[in-house]
Amino acid sequence: MREALKEAKKAYAKDEVPVGAVLVHAGEIIARGHNQVELLQDATAHAEMLCITSAASAIGNWRLEEMTLYTTLEPCAMCAGALLASRVQRVVWAAPDLRLGANGSWVDLFALKHPMHKVSITGHVLEEEAAALMKSFFQEKRERAVVD
């Protein structure tokens, strides 16, 4: 999760919502990603989505079985769907996303019976650190908006 937090800080430095993700297989980081929605002007450029694409390219296979995704924010519905479709075995997230989270904060897509496999979920890992980063980012955004 510490590596995912490093990715989130990269997003923060680029004025992107500070979410970072890493995909790990057998203890080795296969792919990294951080939000690039604004940079790419692409609503799908979430940290998890970019990480999934990068991992599939790195291993030459869209099936990411036996991999664990670490992400600093509870995945949204889009990212949850991609994680299920790519067959990621385990998802570990830090801070809940009370507005859009798809592991129970808004909806729980991971609780639905999937026809091919089940994803193991662990939440609230290093939650305070990830939540503090998000809080700081949005506080700065609000302060800049008042000045402008």
The per-residue pLDDT for range 88-124, each reduced to its tens digit, is 999 999 999 999 988 888 888 888 877 777 899 999 9
The CA distances from residue 61 to 39, 54, 55, 93, in Å, are 27, 10, 8, 24
The one-letter code for the residue type at 147 is: V
The fold for domain 2-147 equals Cytidine Deaminase; domain 2 (3.40.140)
| Domain map (residue ranges) of the chain | 2-147
Q: List residues with catalytic annotation.
A: 48
Give the per-residue pLDDT at 56: 98
The per-residue pLDDT for range 1-50, each reduced to its tens digit, is 999 999 999 999 999 999 999 999 999 999 999 999 999 999 999 999 99
